[in-house]
């Protein structure tokens, strides 16, 4: 029996089409479709760039919601709190922890500020002495370079002032983004499933259940990535902070812990930058010998993370090849700078899990099927069918 698709394939084509090789025809068919997809993606990204602050705030809220959702479920299940109250408790706890960390780090830096200044000057002079003796740089050359630097600063004073004003505007934008992120986070925690079901309900009936199940797999991968990344970042920060304490710089352990912890959320690049800052701090405050020891500690911690923690924990949480991680971070940084590098891997983890389910390779068969969602969408379908029947009966 010849199917309609086979009949269409063997249908006679115009002569100018028949003369074109089948490979060229297929390549052209793929090409114009890819052009449309790329054009649509560029238009979407161009539109999102006008509301980048809002988009970043919402994405931060989504990542935080993935991290706090298990806590909200535990509070709802084992306490008298409702979902909204449990969401508020989890969010307030997060804010208190973050403010406490920054306050403690800031107090340590302020209390040591005079010592930092004195040791920084001494360390800078030591480095300059070493540089002049090693590379045979004379003092007049250094003085002329410093004088030229001062002249450049005076010539560009106006641009520096405008940069400071723009920095104040950036701080205001960050505060606005934090407020938006917190409000979004609360509603995602308190009513995330209902919001998602409403979104899925806008799709055609045949697409609702597959879309919902694919989203569940993507959300599980995203949640696993966030929790695993927090654990890996904490281990990195603790290891390097212990190294600072061992080198006699315990008063800077908390600021370094916070710095390494935050930078670790930028895959690949963040660990290198935070480690370099720790080494430079030891070089300025101590000596090059202690800096080499700190470099060894940083490399050891990063080797433990890269060879033990990342493959064991992250490999189970996110099925992404290291090359995909590297290219994803590079593409994200190219397209959107630091936010792009930060959100590239969570987005890849989510998209990878959803596409695996769509193509028939369920990454999380243990999730099964959401019976409550199926019943919800079936009820919507029955209500729509009933409303259509009533309208037809009224027209008769």
Which of 56-70, 257-271, 373-387 is predicted least confidently? Answer: 257-271
**315, 225 Cβ separation under 8 angstroms:** no
Instruction: Say if CB 160 and CB 153 are below 8 A apart.
Output: yes
Residue 312: the pLDDT is 63
How buried is 64 (Cβ within 10 angstroms: 0-12 exposed, 13-18 middle, 19+ buried)? buried
pLDDT band, very low/low/confident/very high, at 134 (cuts 50, 70, 90): low
Q: Is the pLDDT of residue 4 over 50?
A: no
Does residue 177 register a pLDDT over 60? Answer: yes
Say which DSSP state 80 is in: S
Is residue 340 within 8 A of residue 208, CB to CB? The reply is no
pLDDT of amino acid 165: 47
**Which residues neighbour 180 within 8 Å (Cβ) at sequence distance 6 or greater?**
53, 54, 57, 58, 61
Over pLDDT 70: what percentage of the chain? 74
Task: Map tokens 């074109």 to a residue.
Answer: 20
- Chain-wide mean pLDDT for the chain? 77
The tokens for 320 are 């992404």
pLDDT per position as a tens digit, 343-367: 888 888 888 888 888 888 877 788 8
Contact status, residue 346 vs residue 65, Cβ threshold 8 Å: no
Average pLDDT over residues 295-308: 78
Length of the chain: 396
Count Cβ atoms below 10 Å from residue 343 Cβ, excluding itself. 20
pLDDT of residue 253: 78
Q: Rounded to whole angstroms, what are the CA distances from 134 to 125, 128, 129?
A: 14, 10, 8
Contact 106, 254 (CB under 8 A): no
Q: Where are the domains of the chain?
A: 52-158+172-192, 204-387
């Amino acid at each position: 029996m010849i199917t309609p698709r086979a009949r269409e394939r063997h249908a006679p084509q115009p002569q100018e089409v028949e003369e074109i090789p089948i490979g060229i025809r297929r390549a052209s068919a793929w090409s114009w479709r890819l052009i449309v997809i790329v054009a649509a993606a560029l238009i979407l990204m161009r539109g999102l760039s006008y509301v980048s602050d809002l988009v970043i705030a919402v994405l931060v809220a989504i990542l935080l919601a993935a991290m706090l959702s298990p806590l909200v479920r535990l509070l709802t299940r084992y306490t008298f709190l409702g979902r909204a109250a449990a969401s508020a408790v989890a969010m307030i706890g997060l804010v208190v922890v973050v403010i406490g960390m920054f306050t403690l780090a800031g107090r340590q830096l302020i209390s040591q500020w005079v010592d930092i200044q004195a040791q920084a000057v001494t360390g800078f002079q030591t480095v300059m002495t070493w540089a002049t003796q090693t590379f045979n740089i004379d003092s007049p050359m250094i003085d002329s370079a410093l004088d030229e630097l001062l002249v450049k600063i005076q010539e560009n004073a106006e641009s520096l002032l405008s940069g400071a004003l723009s920095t104040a505007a950036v701080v205001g934008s960050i505060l606005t983004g934090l407020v938006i992120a917190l409000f979004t986070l609360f509603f995602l925690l308190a009513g995330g499933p209902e919001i998602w079901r409403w979104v899925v309900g806008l799709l055609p009936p045949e697409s609702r259940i597959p879309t919902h199940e694919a989203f569940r797999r993507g959300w599980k991968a995203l949640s696993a990535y966030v929790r695993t990344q927090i654990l890996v970042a904490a281990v990195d920060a603790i290891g390097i902070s212990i190294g600072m304490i061992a080198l006699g710089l315990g008063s800077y352990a908390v600021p370094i812990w916070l710095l390494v912890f935050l930078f670790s959320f930028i895959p690949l690049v963040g660990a290198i930058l935070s480690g370099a800052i720790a080494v430079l701090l030891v070089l300025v405050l101590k000596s090059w010998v202690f800096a080499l020891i700190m470099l060894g500690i940083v490399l050891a911690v990063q080797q433990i993370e890269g060879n033990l923690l990342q493959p064991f924990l992250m490999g189970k949480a996110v099925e992404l090849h290291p090359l995909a991680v590297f290219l994803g971070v590079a593409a994200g940084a190219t397209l959107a700078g630091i936010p792009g590098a930060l959100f590239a891997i969570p987005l890849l983890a989510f998209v990878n899990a959803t596409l695996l389910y769509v193509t028939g390779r369920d990454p999380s068969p243990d999730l099964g099927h959401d019976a409550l969602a199926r019943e919800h969408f079936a009820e919507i379908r029955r209500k729509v069918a009933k409303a259509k029947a009533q309208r037809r009966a009224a027209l008769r």
